[in-house]
Amino acid sequence: MRGSGFTSGAVASFGGLQAATTFIDENTLTAVLPALPPGWQDATVSNSNGDSYTARSLFQVLGGQPTPAITGFSPASGTVGISENPIEITILGSGFADYDAVEINGEPVESAFVNSTSIQATIPYWLTGKTGSVPFTVVSPYTGSSNTLSIPLINPVPAIDFLSPTTLVTGSSSGQFNVYGKNFAAGSVVQWNGQNLRM
């Protein structure tokens, strides 16, 4: 304990319970905390001459703290962004608390506590430019890390807007046309009536 006016023989009490106390100097005492119930506790120092001072609600005793566990994500997967924008997801699980941190590969990321079963988190933009998976961990300062669970990043569903040209000559042995749309990715294949076309 740090303060002032301590004298040899001073005794510290916490939550009304006397603690084994060692005098270091007029500004410092060390004490062994007694078993205390959860909640905010007063701290009192009583000098041998009868003088005493009480600091109200000086510190908080926490009850048993849960260990976080991740069970899934909402949505269950993320979509790769062409412009590499961050992706907002919700981590689902149990034992979450408002002081927990969210990490990807050991690095903290932006997050917001919702309740004991969900935390909102952001996949940074530099991780959203290609398919793969992103491993999440929730870390409690009191009980340690949760399991690590990965959310997959997948390509968006392609969509066709139009073809050019829009007509082909009947009976021609071959024809060439362009497909225009969005969300095309490297390795995409064009099919005609279920058959892959040469590209």
**Could you tell me what percent of the chain has a pLDDT over 90?**
62
Span 183-197, pLDDT tens digits: 777 677 888 788 887
Together in a domain, 44 and 94: no
Together in a domain, 148 and 189: no
Give domain status of residue 1, yes or no. Answer: no
Instruction: Look at residue 101 and tell me whether its pLDDT is greater than 90.
Output: yes
**Number of residues in the chain:** 199
From 146, 86, 145, 171, select the one nearest 121 (Cα to Cα).
86
d(CA 3, CA 77): 54
Q: For the chain, how long is the longest CA-to-CA vector?
A: 112
Together in a domain, 74 and 135: yes
Q: Tokens 């924008």 map to which residue?
A: 85
Domains held by the chain: number: 3
**0.85 exceeded by pTM:** no
Domain that holds residue 40: 11-61
